[in-house]
Amino acid sequence: MKIEKVNCINGELNLPGDKSISHRAIIFASLSKGKSLINNFLQSQDIYSTINCFRNLGCQIIENSNSLEIEGRGFGKLMAPNNYLDCGNSGTTTRLISGILAAQDFDSILIGDDSLSSRPMKRIIEPLNMMGAKIESNNDNRLPMKIFGNKNLNSVEYELPVASAQVKSCIILAGLHLNEETIVVEKFITRDHTERMLNLEVDFIGSKKIIKASRKNYPIARKYEIPSDISSAAFFIVLALCSKSSELIIRNVSLNPTRAGIIQILKAMGGDIEIINQNNFAGEELGDIKVRSSQLHNVKIESMVISNIIDEIPILSVAGFFAEGKFEIDHAEELRYKESDRIMAVCENLRLLGCKIHETKDGFIIEEKKIVGNIQFKSFNDHRIAMAFYILGALLETDVYMDSMDSVRISNPNFYSQVKSLIN
C-alpha cells in the first residue's frame, strides 16, 4: 500500500487499552472465583489469544462492546482443555499461562503461529523445571510445548538472567499456587504490572528488586479499568513531534514508571510533551499526554533504560532519524527475539531508504541519513515494525510504500483510521 503523506496533525485520540494490562486482567479474572468486569480491554489478536485459551480452560467470558465479563474458576479449578491451547502470535499469553498450567492437575499443549514458534522458551522452562515442573519441547525449546501439570510444585528463589517481565510473571503465577513464598530477583527493572495488580510484596536490596508471591496473593474477583497503551501512543507522539505545526492530546494513557521511559527520552531529545490530568487507578498511574511539534536532537540512551523502552525502540529510531546528530542504541539484544528480529528489520528498512547503518549484536547506529525515492518498506509481519515505518513514510515527501499492514491487528487494529482522523 502507498503511505499517505502527513504534513500536519491536530486533534485528540482515545486509544485502546494497554496490551500488557489487558492480558493480566483477563488472566487474573479467570483465576479468581466469581465474576470480574474488565473495561476498555484491547481488542486485538494477541488479547483474543489469551481469551480463547482461558475459554478452553473452562472460563465463561462474555464480550460486550469494549468490556468483558469473566466468570473465574477459582483456585485449582481450571478444566483440562479438549484441544491444543493456541497462543497465536502472543509471547505474553504463552509465557504467563505456562506458569499457571505447570501447577494444575492436568496436562496441556501450547502451540502458536510460525513467528511465535521461533521465539525462545528456554527462559521459562528452566525456572519452571527448578520448581518441579515437567515440560517437553521437541523443537529446540520452542513451541509446540507440552506441560505436565504438577500440583506439588516447590517454591524457589530465582534471579532473572535476562530482563523480562514475561519470565518474571510466569514464575510469579506458578508461585501463586504454593503456600511457601516464591521469590524473584531482578537485576534490571522491567514492567511491573503483575506486582501492582496482585499487590505483591516488593523489597529492594541495593539495585536489586525482590518480589515475593504465594497463595495468599491469589487474585480475587474485581473490576478492572484499563488505561490506554503507551506503546501504541508512542507512534502518534513521534508523528506529532516530527510533523509541522501539530498539536495532539492522547487521553487516559498508562504512565506506569516502568513503561514511561519513552516519554523521558523524547523530552530529553527536545520534545514538547506535557502530562495533564494525571491520576491513579488501582495502583496504575495514568494521564493525558499533550504533544506539540518540536525540533529534536539525539541524546545518549543509557543501557539501564533499555528494558523500559524495549517495545518502543522501532518508533524511537524514527524520531532519531529526524533528529539532529547520530542515533545509537545498544544493550538491546532482546530486540532480536521479538515478533521479528527488530534490530535487523529496522536496519534493513533504513538501508532501503539510503541510510548508512552500523549494525551490532545488540543494537545499531544511524551514521548517515539519506532519502531516496519510490521505496517499499518491509513489515516483516511485525506490528511494531509496520507501524513505525508507516509513520516514517508518512513524514517523508517522497513516495513510500509498505508491503503489508496486516500485522497491526496484533496490537492496534484501528491504527490506520486513527492516523487518518488526525490529518489536516
Q: In angstroms, rounded to a whole number, what is the distance separating the alpha carbons of residues 387 and 409?
A: 11
CB atoms within 10 A of CB 279: 12
- Active site residue: 46, 86, 311, 382, which one? 311
Catalytic: 311? Answer: yes
Partners of residue 36 on adjacent β-strands? 70
Q: Three-state secondary structure along the chain?
A: CECCCCCCEEEEECCCECHHHHHHHHHHHHHCEEEEEEECCCCCHHHHHHHHHHHCCCCEEEEECCEEEEEEECCCCCCCCCCCEECCCCHHHHHHHHHHHCCCCCCEEEECCCCHHHCCCHHHHHHHHHCCCEEEECCCCCCCEEEECCCCCCCCEEECCCCCHHHHHHHHHHHCCCCCCEEEEECCCCCCHHHHHHCCEEEEECCEEEEEECHHHCCCCCEEECCECHHHHHHHHHHHHHCCCCEEEEEEEECCCCCCHHHHHHHHCCCEEEEEEEEEECCEEEEEEEEECCCCECCCCCHHHHHHHHHHHHHHHHHHHHCECCEEECCCHHHHHCCCCHHHHHHHHHHHHCCEEEEECCEEEEEECCCCCCEEECCCCCHHHHHHHHHHHHCCCCCEEECCCHHHHHCCCCHHHHHHHHEC
Q: Per this entry, what is the length of the chain?
A: 424
**How far is residue 203's CA from residue 215's CA, in Å, rounded to a whole number?**
19
Q: In this structure, what are the phi and psi dihedrals at residue 409, rounded to the nearest 5 degrees?
A: -60, -20
Closest CA relative to residue 101, chosen from 173, 172, 157, 36: 173
Residues belonging to the active site? 311
